[in-house]
Amino acid sequence: MVSAGKHDTWMGLALAEARRALATEDVPIGAVVLGPDGAVLGSGRNQREELGDPTAHAEVVAIRQAAEQLREVAARSGGKADGWRLSDCTLVVTLEPCAMCAGAIVLARIPRVVFGAWDEKAGAAGSVFDVLRERRLNHWVEVYPGVREAECAELLRDFFAGHRSRL
């Protein structure tokens, strides 16, 4: 079992990614995928505006990077890894995952998700839907919500307040 202190530290990494999204006027959401040893395998921020890609959510970007990292590590060691099973990893994200990201998490076999702020409009880890713990699916995820919640929520509130004031 990982301590709550580790979750706080890891959320700091995700928050740093979220702040990077502000440079491209993307919604400031950040994510990191950590391996079983706690090393960062992948990181991502929302890049939908930057890339013009509706699937470029922070979680998807981080999952893709982690899968690539695992394939590279396996290739260097002479082994073979499919790269899509992140079965010993933890995903940390500043906002509760949406349905698309929750589906990607389940399909990647990620066993643990730590998130900051709840998404009462589109969350799929307990608020609107609970895809991550849906018993009819073939994989279930441990969910640790509310880590540095106020800090994560404030970043989003400030971003949207700024957007509204420009309209």
* Residues identified as active-site: 59
Residue 90 pairs in a beta bridge with 34, 112
Residue 148 CA to residue 162 CA, distance in Å, equals: 22
Angle at 128 between CA 53 and CA 17, to 5 degrees: 45
Q: 154 in the Ramachandran plot: left (φ > 0), alpha (ψ -120 to 50) or beta?
A: alpha
Residue 75 CA to residue 113 CA, distance in Å, equals: 27
